[in-house]
Structure 1
Amino acid sequence: MTVQQLIQALSQLPPGASVLLEGDAGYSPLGAVDLIHNGTGLPDEVLLQPDMTPD
């Protein structure tokens, strides 16, 4: 999925909805979005990171 596809998919959802990431241990709220620059001819990548603050 590209950033453009992600933005299009998210634009169809309620703006107040929480974004959760599914993982092995269940669901985590989205905590950060990082851009990883690839200088090797590969496209840049976006990393979605879970919120790691304790409950």
Structure 2
Amino acid sequence: MNVRQLLALLQTYPPEASVLLEGDAGYSPLGGLSLQANEGGLPDEVILHPDMTPD
């Protein structure tokens, strides 16, 4: 999935819905994202980071 596809899909959901990341320990809210710029013909990557705030 690329950013264009992700944005198109997210636009079909309610704008107030929370974004969660699924992992081995359950679900975590999305805390942020970063861009990993690549070289050598590799595509750049967007990395999603969970919210690490204690419950």
Residues 12-46 of structure 1: per-residue CA shift (max 9 Å, x gap): 00000000000000000000111000012100000
Please give the alpha-carbon distance, in whole angstroms, between the structure 1 residues aligned to 2:19 and 2:32.
11
Q: TM-score, normalised by structure 1?
A: 0.97
**Unaligned 5+ residue runs, structure 1?**
none
| Length, aligned pairs only | 55
**Unaligned 5+ residue runs, structure 2?**
none
Runs of 4+ in 1 over 2 A off after TM superposition: none
Q: TM-score, normalised by structure 2?
A: 0.97
Q: % of aligned pairs identical?
A: 67
Please give the alpha-carbon distance, in whole angstroms, between the structure 1 residues aligned to 2:44 and 2:7.
16
